[in-house]
Structure 1
Amino acid sequence: MEAGGERHRTARTAHTAGRTARGRTRIGVALVMVLCGVLFATTARLSGGGSIRDESSDVVGVLQERGRDIERLTEENATMRAEVEGLRGAEAGAPTAEGAEHVADAVGLSEVSGPALRITLTDAPSSALSIPGTEPNDLVVHQQDLEAYINALWAGGAEAMMLQDQRVINGSAFRCAGNTLLLEGRVYSPPFVVTVIGPIDEMTEALEDAPGVEAYRTWVGHVGLGEKIETLETTTLPAFEGSLTLTAEAAA
């Protein structure tokens, strides 16, 4: 009897424990459902009954839309500038016409032709991540890399320069976001191309002497960042079409 009673108590204890565990499970499920309800209610309040994803800013979409706006405004600006040039030319014998043309050349408001260097910088292949100690950030052409090349070219006597398909001047400002380039409101992806007219030998030597260019070339050899330099016998760069007003971005 004692043995049977002991087994009975053991079985009852086990049954009670199982019932308690099932009760706790039901309570846990209920709590999860309550929390889900709170989260759904909060989500509804935040999104105003719509999709939060729809309300969040799509950075790429915003930049592309801004780029289209900038292109439209740039075309309008070019049209108005052409009208101004036409009116200026109509002023027969104007004493300031020659001086105005000289200033236009100096600040980049006219086309320039001549021998040039074309430099192409590209991101490294993703396979380079297999190199020990390499991080994704090491495979990207950064803003300071472009600045190193551009500053060296100006120091080497560059007369006119174009970044991607836009003429740039000394006051031009650009920003890199991830592996995209923001220039005059437009968004560009690599490869990044710099075309520059000027003394070929001097500009090439300036690139060799620039510490920033040297640092980039170290990573060219290490992870495979791209660098291609071509000499062009002659090329024509378009006139600068951006604003000549100094902005906070350009001054930064």
Structure 2
Amino acid sequence: MSDGNDPDDVRPDDASVDIDEDRSQATTDPSIQDVRSDSRHPRLARSATVIVMALAGLMMTTAAINSRGHDLRPERDTDMATLVRSQASHNAALQKEAAGLRAQVEDFSKANQTPGVTSSVISSASALAPSVGLGAVSGKALRVTLDDAPLSENPDGVDANMLVVHQQDIQMVVNTLWSGGAEAMTIQGQRVISTTAVKCVGNTVVLHGVAYAPPYVIEAIGDLNAMQKALDTSEAVRIYKEYVSAYQLGWSVERAGQVTMPAYTGAVAVSHATPR
């Protein structure tokens, strides 16, 4: 970037020195001519320095103009959407690998059962699996759908964030359904477990490492009347509905009939801090 000084204004230190009238007269003294000849070298050096500085400033200014504020290193890809898609693909591959390893563990367990002990443990684990999300489950479900406001809905002076579904809106519905007695739940078809976290990345929501765009569909198996009552009496839901009325955010609740929810197949290991 330029420092604000015009290179044409930069002058050598001796540019303002007064010219003596005697200098205008030629001299025939050789010794004086030699001294004058030698004195030109420092001036030439200073002039060369000024020229180099001016050229350096010109090059920096040209680079700034050409870049127009863009990164001069195009090989650095900082596009968030690309990073999310790449990570989602990687996570899907890991989940597939984890499912295969889990199947191998089950096969080894069945092949090495100790009568009366191993079978009892496996039976207990199998009974608990559906309730914690590790086993498939079927039943009648309530379906809640959230969506962004239509693109045509763009009121003047309204923050664009008011027109989209946020992660806290999805979490609000999930928590309300749990409080209404939901026994199993999915978001976008993915099973929800105790460690499930919903995260916003740009205009998408990331769930278990996979990015989803709206509309967002939440299904819950359980007592349909109890879950509906929980939604109807929730203060958080009431506030969301105010935005539905004001800005046309999407909101619908329906009985989905009989559905089958898949088991969660991702990692379930939990790490935590320990005192030293």
TM-score w.r.t. the length of structure 2 is 0.70
How far off its partner does 1:56 sit? 4.1
Counterpart of 1:89? 110
Over residues 107-158 of structure 1, what are the superposed CA-to-partner deviations in whole Å (9 max), with x where a residue is unaligned?
Answer: 111000000011111100232222x542211101011111110000000111
SS of 1:127 mapped into structure 2? coil
Which 4+ stretches in 1 moved above 6 angstroms? Answer: none
Counterpart of 1:70? 91
| Alignment pair present for 1:38 and 2:60 | yes
Counterpart of 1:57? 78
After superposition, the CA RMSD in angstroms is: 2.9
How far off its partner does 1:232 sit? 1.7
Residues of 2 paired with 1:212 and 1:33: CA distance? 64
| Bigger-Rg structure (1/2) | 2
Unaligned runs of 5+ in 2: 1-5, 10-53
Question: Does the aligned pair in 2 maintain the 1:128–1:134 contact within 8 Å?
Answer: no
1:155-174 alignment runs, 5 A limit: 155-174=179-198
Mean Cα deviation higher: 111-120 or 79-88:
79-88
Residues of 2 paired with 1:126 and 1:64: CA distance? 24
| Alignment pair present for 1:122 and 2:144 | no
Counterpart of 2:175? 151
Higher helix fraction (1 or 2): 1
SS of 2:200 mapped into structure 1? strand
- Compared with structure 1, are the counterparts of its residues 92 and 246 closer, same or farther at alpha carbon in structure 2 (3 Å cutoff)? closer
SS of 1:245 mapped into structure 2? coil
TM-score w.r.t. the length of structure 1 is 0.77
Amino acid at match of 2:137: V
SS of 2:141 mapped into structure 1? strand
Question: Does the aligned pair in 2 maintain the 1:175–1:182 contact within 8 Å?
Answer: yes
Residues of 2 paired with 1:166 and 1:123: CA distance? 20
- Compared with structure 1, are the counterparts of its residues 39 and 181 closer, same or farther at alpha carbon in structure 2 (3 Å cutoff)? farther
Mean Cα deviation higher: 87-96 or 101-110:
87-96
How far off its partner does 1:87 sit? 2.7
Counterpart of 2:202? 178
SS of 1:37 mapped into structure 2? helix
Identity fraction in percent: 35
Unaligned runs of 5+ in 1: 1-24, 45-49
How far off its partner does 1:41 sit? 5.4
Question: Does the aligned pair in 1 maintain the 2:99–2:266 contact within 8 Å?
Answer: no
SS of 2:75 mapped into structure 1? helix
SS of 1:172 mapped into structure 2? coil
